[in-house]
Each structure stands twice: as structure tokens, then as C-alpha cells.
Amino acid sequence: MATSLSTKMLGFMERASWIRKMFEEGARLKKEHGEEAVCDFSLGNPDLLPPREFQSALKEAAALEGPGVHGYMPNAGIPEAREKVAQVVARDHQVSCSADDVLLTCGAAGGLNIIFKALLNPGEEVIVPRPFFVEYGFYVDNHGGRLVPVSSAEDFGLDLSAIEGAIGPSTKAILINSPNNPSGAVYPADQLRALGELLEAKSREVGHAIYLVSDEPYRRLVFDGVEVPPVLANYRNSIVTTSFSKDLSIPGERIGYVAVHPEAEERQALLGALTLANRILGYVNAPALMQRVVARCMDVSVDVSVYQRRRDLFASILRDAGYTFSMPRGAFYFFPKSPLEDDAEFVRILQEQLILAVPGSGFGQPGYFRIAFCVGEEVIERSREGFAKALEKCG
């Protein structure tokens, strides 16, 4: 009998099957050699415990009683939480943001989905610099759009001429992610300024606003005192989305937000569309309990120095072995060059050394591989010999 499932979904599952294969191979290696023997750097799942402030805010919020505490609410979120988010956005992005410009969402993933639902007509395009978070293609497709990857600079900074070359009448948005998963790059202020100017000019040329969408769940995870420059301040038709998944180590709680530039051209209609999208995509609203919790810990984050120590240790291992890589300035990933052109083959060689990594092809950037440092220093240290041997094996 013919399948009753969506042909598109079957295709997506096939495309995503390398992730499953890697996962299965990792599980097989762990079973055969023991959990302890395998160095698993494949997942960006934060391993640090949430900060103490989060636990006390959770207890406080859980103790709330009374009418409406667990009821439906305005789809954009609880006013108190929107107010707190607006203050942080105003500070981080140097705009006069108010609670009306903000919606609480089910993580950054939920944020991106309502943004694309609000912006895209069928066939319209979203430009993204490579390498990029693997799910972007699916999110854009969810709303009938088309993801258009463009190259980045050698150091993974923005390649403005590549972006300019890709903009056409169907371009609806540019999607950026800084600090970047997987490259660890942080886009400097002058690049964001130039991007804003480019989009201003190009919007005039194509006759509609090209939105700048900034996905920034790693904004607080930066090293060596790096500051992530504001995005909204550079371009009025811009939207920020983020989550508390990484800085509070709570990805399972599905909480984040979207903020629209207060002077965006169609601000009112856009905010209305985002709010309705939150509802009709089935999120309805972000989890009530978590909205109350994050409102109480807006300026709290995990101890970033733990990630920085791991990054420095990993850098020494990769450098000593002879790998080529850019030092990550934020997030918790390295994205070194694969010593073989075939990055999937190199990841297989790493597996022989009981090291699990992800091929760069999964991020639209073949010839590289990603390793996540969401694991203890002892696991990173244990991989030293394996990384050296894998490189030797490639000659």
C-alpha cells in the first residue's frame, strides 16, 4: 500500500537521517566500550546545572495560588514578564523598547517559527550565512519559505557582498546568529552597522522592508570579556529572538522571547501577526510558570567561566594535535577544518577513536566538523590522544 504520510516529511526524515545514524553509532559505541570510554561532543545540550537563583524563583512561582494563575492569558505573555524582557532588550539593543514590543515564546525555536509565519508568503526567501543551525531550513519551510545560504568570511564573520548578491525581489529576511552555532563567531559592531545600511538601501530597491532577524540564544555565553554588540540599534526593521535555554541551562522548559524594533515600519501589524501566530501554531502562549520564573532572573546566567576553561583546554588539544580552527568567542562549540575533504568520513575516523562529533555538512558547510563542549573537562582531556591519532591517520 502507498504511504499515507506526508512525502515532504518523509524526505525531511531522510535528509535528517545522518543525525540519527550518528546517534545510533554513538549509542553502539557506548554499549560496546562503556559510557565512560566514549567522548561525546555531538550534542549542544547544556550540562551545567541551572543557577541557584533559578531554583528559588521556580519555588516562589510554583507556590503562587489564586484565580487565573494557571489560566489562559494574552497570547503575547504575562504583562510582568513582558515588562522585564523589554527592560533587558532596551539595554542590550540600545532602543527604547516597551512591553508592547515583546512576546514570550516557546524558546528561540518557537520565536523563529512565529517570525517566519508572520513574514513569509509562499516561495519567499530567507538569507542565512553559512554555517548555520541545522533546523533553520525546516523552520523556514514550515511557513512556505525558502532558506538561501550564503558564504561567510574566512573567520566566519559576515560576507556583506555575498549577502548583497543574494538579495532579490523575493527576499523577505536575513537571519543571523551571533554568537554563532556552530562557529563560535561574534559579529562585530561595524559589520552589523554595514549590514543595517545595506538592508536599508536594498529594501528601497525591492520596494518592501527586508527584515533582519537576529537569533541570539548564546548572547550571554561569551569569553575573554567579549561584548555582543546591539542588533536592533543598527536597523529599524529588525527583530530579535532568543531563549533562556543556554544561559540558564533550561532547554527542556521551552521559554524565550521575541522583540520587535519599536520603530519597525509595520510594527503594529507585525506584533499582531506574531501574537496570532503564537496562538495558532499551537503554542497558544509560552508556559505560564516559566514566564514568571524568568521574569525573576533576567540578569542571571550560568557560570560562563566553566565554559571558558573547557574552551581553553579544547583549544590546547586541537592546537597541539595540529588542527586548524578559529577560536570561538562565544557559544560552546568549536568548528575546526576537517583534515579530509569528506567531513563525514573524518567524523567516522574520530568515531574509531571513540570521539563523537558532527560533520560540517549538517550546518551547510562541508569540510568542517563541530564539537560541543557541554561535557566535563575530564572528558575533553580524555580525547587528547584520540584527536591526535585521528589526524595522523589522515596523513
Residues that bind ligand PLP (CB under 6 A): 44, 107-109, 133, 177, 181, 215, 217, 243, 245, 251, 256
Residue 59 C-beta: closest distance to ligand PLP, Å: 23
371, 357 in Cβ contact below 8 A? yes
Whose Cβ is closer to ligand PLP: residue 260's or residue 372's?
372
In the bound complex, which residue of the shown chain has the CB atom lying closest to ligand PLP? 107
DSSP helix/strand/coil, 383: coil
Residue 216 C-beta: closest distance to ligand PLP, Å: 8
B/e letters for 140-158, b = 16+ CB within 10 Å, e = fewer, are bbebebbbbbbebeeebbb
Residue 330 C-beta: closest distance to ligand PLP, Å: 11
Residue 269 C-beta: closest distance to ligand PLP, Å: 25
Whose Cβ is closer to ligand PLP: residue 109's or residue 347's?
109
Nearest to 221 by CA among 197, 242, 192, 198: 242
Contacts of 328 (CB under 8 A, 6+ apart): 179, 183, 184, 185, 223, 311, 334, 335
Whole-number Å distance between alpha carbons of 301 and 288: 20
Residue 248 C-beta: closest distance to ligand PLP, Å: 10
Q: What are phi and psi of 323, to 5 degrees?
A: -75, 155
How many beta carbons lie within 10 A of that of residue 282, not counting itself? 8
Residue 111 C-beta: closest distance to ligand PLP, Å: 7
Whose Cβ is closer to ligand PLP: residue 133's or residue 211's?
133
- Give the dihedral of Cα atoms 191, 197, 202, 205; nearest 10 deg: -160
Whole-number Å distance between alpha carbons of 369 and 357: 7
The C-alpha cell that represents 55 in the structure block: 531554583
Whose Cβ is closer to ligand PLP: residue 177's or residue 203's?
177
- Entry field: residues in the chain: 395
105, 258 in Cβ contact below 8 A? yes
Whose Cβ is closer to ligand PLP: residue 107's or residue 149's?
107
Residue 334 C-beta: closest distance to ligand PLP, Å: 14
Whose Cβ is closer to ligand PLP: residue 257's or residue 387's?
257
Whose Cβ is closer to ligand PLP: residue 107's or residue 145's?
107
How many beta carbons lie within 10 A of that of residue 289, not counting itself? 16
Residue 5 C-beta: closest distance to ligand PLP, Å: 25
Whole-number Å distance between alpha carbons of 235 and 228: 16
Task: Give CA 47 to chain center in angstroms.
Answer: 17
Whole-number Å distance between alpha carbons of 68 and 245: 26
Contacts of 172 (CB under 8 A, 6+ apart): 119, 120, 121, 124, 125, 126, 145, 208, 210, 211
Residue 249 C-beta: closest distance to ligand PLP, Å: 11
Look at the alpha carbons of 272, 275, 276, 281 in this order and tell me if their dihedral is positive or negative.
positive
Whose Cβ is closer to ligand PLP: residue 133's or residue 156's?
133
Whose Cβ is closer to ligand PLP: residue 75's or residue 203's?
75
DSSP state of 337: B
Residue 256 C-beta: closest distance to ligand PLP, Å: 5
Whose Cβ is closer to ligand PLP: residue 177's or residue 234's?
177
